[in-house]
Chains A and B, each alone.
Chain A
Amino acid sequence: MDTQSLLAEAKAKFAHNSAKHYLQEKFSNKLLIAEQGGLWRADPNTINFLNCFDTETLVLLDIYNNPVEVNRTDLLNKLIEIYTKVMHEWHTEWKELETKR
């Protein structure tokens, strides 16, 4: 028996909340990046914070709370690149989920 027949027979319903949770688990990890001696999350907070400065270097806390001196522009560009790529993939899978019933 294939999975579609099995689901139909069991009258199983698609669990949107669980699927949403699974997607968050899957993609939030992909936003992590080890760069310039620290571990970073490519999230809006970090990107905005890096964008607030105009200095070449900056010291900020990585996700392990270690202060790391970074080249601001290089890290910013890298985080934007990761963020854009991962969020696009996340959105694509999310749209697929929305069509399921």
Chain B
Amino acid sequence: MSRGALLFAFNSSKVDYYAMAEYTAKRINHFLNIPVSIITNKDSIPNTTNYKFDNVITMSADDSNFFRDTVWFNKGRYQAYDLTPYDETLLMDVDYMVNSDRLLKVFEVMSDYACHESTAFMMVPDAAYELLGPNSFPILWATIIGFRKTKKSEHLFQCMKMVQQNYNHYANIYGFVPEIYRNDYSLTIAHRILNGHYPCIDEILPWNLMHIGLKTKVYPNFKDPLNTEFTIVYDNWKRNKIKKEYITIKDIDFHVINKDIFREIIT
């Protein structure tokens, strides 16, 4: 039974996703002790690199996702099922900072697939869950998807493909704005369809996905590339003034929503 992580990384004009994937892959190797494969395009692969992925799978990038004059190369995630070289896969966003072996628990808890529904924001303890549409249900997060090669997982990814290809139609049904394609939305809808539109919890990871949100800065406490201690500084607005607040965190994974913050951490 093979086990590994899979990352998608297509460089845009603004963001070097391949470099982010290399950084994340090294941490996955170290903290989870599993191999990492990458799905990318030839243009993203640098001429020289000091990291060797387990497998480099190339495909052409889908550049049809425009938002605010930028192309977002996040389509095609549904192909993970067919392209993964592993029996058990952790499909991850490249901006997920692995600081512990927490994700190994995904393999323990999932039967077919597993992903996050509940979230927490660092420095914002009372942040609300994001809903699919107004008066709708909470979204699932495609940041981490664990899956086995089973029929149900295959159907999930086939459904995600269907949602991606008919995105405006599903936006109309669920009442969200389809200005940008989001894998979180297609995962949420596919999961609902697969479970008869019933809020099934069997595939939900029983812990929160920790986000680093906006108005937040992250400073590594040490220069070590495998550093797990960070200082989080947050601009807390009170009475029209910014009050800077901070905490120090250690050995906890987090997802960085703002790509610029992630790039600052790794440089």
Are the CB atoms of A13 and B244 closer together than 8 Å? yes
Judge whether B80 is part of the interface by a CB distance below 8 angstroms. no
Judge whether B175 is part of the interface by a CB distance below 8 angstroms. no
- B197 shortest CB reach to chain A, Å: 19
- In this complex, what residue of B is CB-closest to A9? B244
Within 8 Å by CB of B247, from A18, A29, A39, lies A18
Within 8 Å by CB of B102, from A6, A18, A29, A34, lies A29
Are the CB atoms of B246 and A25 closer together than 8 Å? no
Binary CB contact string for chain B from 224 to 235 against chain A (1 if under 8 A, 0 otherwise)? 000000011110
| Cα–Cα, bound, A101→B261 (Å) | 26
Are the CB atoms of A18 and B123 closer together than 8 Å? yes
Are the CB atoms of A19 and B207 closer together than 8 Å? no
- A25 shortest CB reach to chain B, Å: 5
- In this complex, what residue of A is CB-closest to B231? A3
Residue of A11, A13, A17, A25 with most chain B CB atoms under a 10 A cut-off: A25
Are the CB atoms of B245 and A14 closer together than 8 Å? yes
Judge whether B122 is part of the interface by a CB distance below 8 angstroms. yes
Within 8 Å by CB of B244, from A12, A21, A63, A64, lies A12
Contacts A32-B105, A64-B202; A22 near B207 (Cβ below 8 A): no
On chain A, the residues within 8 Å of B236 by CB distance are: 15
| Cα–Cα, bound, A64→B117 (Å) | 14
| Cα–Cα, bound, A41→B207 (Å) | 11
| Cα–Cα, bound, A52→B109 (Å) | 27
On chain A, the residues within 8 Å of B210 by CB distance are: 25
Are the CB atoms of A22 and B122 closer together than 8 Å? yes
Contacts A6-B219, A25-B210, A26-B252; A17 near B125 (Cβ below 8 A): yes
- B213 shortest CB reach to chain A, Å: 12
On chain B, the residues within 8 Å of A68 by CB distance are: none
| Cα–Cα, bound, A39→B236 (Å) | 38
Are the CB atoms of B245 and A13 closer together than 8 Å? yes
On chain A, the residues within 8 Å of B251 by CB distance are: 26
Contacts A13-B245, A18-B122, A18-B125; A29 near B233 (Cβ below 8 A): no
Judge whether B42 is part of the interface by a CB distance below 8 angstroms. no
Contacts A39-B109, A65-B201; A15 near B247 (Cβ below 8 A): yes
Are the CB atoms of B252 and A19 closer together than 8 Å? no
On chain B, the residues within 8 Å of A26 by CB distance are: 249, 251-252
Judge whether B165 is part of the interface by a CB distance below 8 angstroms. no
Within 8 Å by CB of B243, from A13, A17, A22, A41, lies A13
- In this complex, what residue of A is CB-closest to B229? A3
Binary CB contact string for chain B from 205 to 222 against chain A (1 if under 8 A, 0 otherwise)? 011101000000001010
| Cα–Cα, bound, A64→B207 (Å) | 12
- B219 shortest CB reach to chain A, Å: 5
The 5 closest A-B pairs by CB, nearest first: A15-B245, A12-B244, A21-B125, A34-B108, A29-B207
24 contacts between A and B (CB under 8 A): A3-B219, A3-B221, A6-B231, A7-B246, A10-B233, A11-B244, A12-B233, A13-B244, A14-B246, A15-B245, A17-B125, A18-B124, A18-B125, A18-B232, A19-B247, A21-B120, A26-B249, A26-B251, A28-B207, A32-B109, A63-B206, A64-B202, A65-B201, A93-B250
Q: Using A6-B233, A15-B245, A25-B252 as known contacts, list a sample of 8 further A-B pairs with CB atoms less than 8 Å apart, ordered by residue number in A.
A: A3-B231, A12-B233, A14-B246, A14-B247, A15-B123, A22-B122, A25-B207, A32-B206
